[in-house]
């Protein structure tokens, strides 16, 4: 093993300031020079200091398939069968496929993404997901020219998911993205959390994570991904169209009848924080909505 002379070892303070320098360079001019993934990875690292404890992430869940009480979901979902599990990718694609969850994990390299999660109810977390870009999967199935939107569906199984007995919701849970949103590098399919496979209450075995949108867009326990030509109607759009739109981008300027969207409480913190436009991911996603009236397209 080669020895590095002590004169060449970078002191920690210099290392840190250098990183900061590179970071500011990146913010200034690198959008054309560096692949966006690299810049994004740097951003994710910044959030590592703010990680929400695993216990909070796994004990406070909006997963109405099990219960409308966030603190009850973890207990009710413990026996949930996530193997065998397949995800059917179909619709306007050249290579429709039904993929086994284990194959998906092997086929696509799993990477860690530390994202903010902002729930429409005014609370937020910082979560270290494991997963892969949704775009990687979409590239393999090759959407055709007719594909304009991606429609996602959760498992429908009233035996395992008692909440699906509630007739005032249109089960199964459906969510959707515009194709360009789905192709954005920030949109991932997550299979893990804190380096371990996803627990059932967090959407095992595979879920969507779109960090610039309210949490309900990040559909859990996915069994179907369909490329479609027209805008999918999500469960929440059906349940309360005046409250939940298709886009559901985190936006402090667009009000909700119940919760303040201008600020949020980060789980574990006492003081509220200002909510950031696009949940702090404007740089990566704001261009997707150029020219759109986001007050109307909420």
Partner 1 sequence: MVWLKRAGLPILAHAGALTPLALLIWNFFHDQLTANPIQYITFRTGKTALVLLVLALACTPLNVLFGLKQAVALRKPFGLYAFLYAALHFVTFVGLDYQFDPELLKEAIFKKRYALVGFAAFLALLPLAVTSTRGWMRRLGKNWKRLHRLVYLAALLAVVHFVWLVKSDVREPLAYGAGVIVLLALRLKSVRRASAKLREKLVGKQGECRQVAVHEDLR
Chain contacts with partner 1 (rule: CB under 8 A)? 55-56, 59-60, 68, 70-71, 121, 123, 166, 168-169, 239-240, 255, 257-258, 260, 262-263, 265, 267-268, 271-272
Residue 57 Cβ, how far from partner 1 at the closest point, in Å?
A: 8
Residue 103 Cβ, how far from partner 1 at the closest point, in Å?
A: 34
Strands 149-154 and 174-178: antiparallel
Compute φ and ψ for 16, nearest 5 degrees. Answer: -65, -45
Asked whether the CA dihedral 208, 214, 215, 219 is positive or negative, the reply is: negative
Residue 169 Cβ, how far from partner 1 at the closest point, in Å?
A: 7
Give which of 234, 274, 232 is closest to 250, Cα–Cα. Answer: 274
Q: Are the CB atoms for 156 and 75 separated by under 8 Å?
A: no
Q: Are the CB atoms for 103 and 85 separated by under 8 Å?
A: no
Q: Which residue lies nearer to partner 1 by CB, 20 or 273?
A: 273
Q: Which residue lies nearer to partner 1 by CB, 70 or 88?
A: 70
Residue 231 Cβ, how far from partner 1 at the closest point, in Å?
A: 21
Q: Which residue lies nearer to partner 1 by CB, 229 or 241?
A: 241
Residue 234, Cβ neighbours under 10 Å: how many? 22
Residue 285 Cβ, how far from partner 1 at the closest point, in Å?
A: 26
Q: Which residue lies nearer to partner 1 by CB, 142 or 255?
A: 255
Q: Which residue lies nearer to partner 1 by CB, 153 or 264?
A: 264
Q: Are the CB atoms for 173 and 235 separated by under 8 Å?
A: yes
């Amino acid at each position: 093993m080669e020895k590095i002379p002590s004169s060449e070892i970078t002191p920690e303070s210099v290392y840190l300031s250098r990183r900061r320098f590179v970071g500011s360079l990146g913010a200034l001019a690198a959008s054309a020079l560096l692949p966006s993934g690299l810049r994004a990875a740097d951003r994710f690292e910044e959030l590592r200091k703010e990680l929400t404890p695993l216990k909070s992430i796994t004990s406070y869940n909006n997963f109405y398939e099990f219960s409308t009480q966030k603190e009850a979901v973890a207990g009710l979902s413990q026996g949930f069968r996530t193997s065998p599990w397949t995800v059917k990718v179909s619709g306007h694609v050249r290579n429709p496929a039904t993929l086994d969850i284990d194959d998906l994990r092997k086929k696509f390299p799993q990477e860690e993404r530390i994202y903010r999660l902002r729930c429409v109810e005014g609370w937020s977390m910082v979560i270290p997901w494991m997963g892969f870009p949704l775009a990687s999967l979409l590239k393999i199935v090759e959407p055709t020219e007719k594909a304009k939107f991606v429609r996602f569906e959760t498992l429908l199984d009233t035996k395992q998911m008692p909440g699906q007995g509630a007739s005032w919701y249109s089960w199964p849970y459906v969510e959707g993205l515009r194709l360009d949103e789905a192709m954005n590098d920030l949109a991932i399919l997550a299979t893990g959390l804190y380096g371990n496979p996803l627990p059932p209450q967090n959407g095992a075995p595979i879920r969507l994570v779109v960090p610039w949108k309210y949490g309900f867009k990040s559909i859990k326990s996915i069994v179907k991904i369909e490329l479609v030509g027209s805008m999918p109607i999500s469960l929440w759009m059906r349940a309360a169209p005046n409250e939940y739109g298709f886009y559901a981008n985190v936006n402090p300027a667009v009000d909700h009848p119940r919760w303040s969207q201008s600020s949020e409480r980060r789980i574990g913190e006492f003081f509220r924080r200002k909510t950031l436009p696009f949940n702090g991911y404007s740089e990566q996603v704001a261009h997707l909505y150029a020219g759109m009236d986001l007050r109307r397209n909420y």
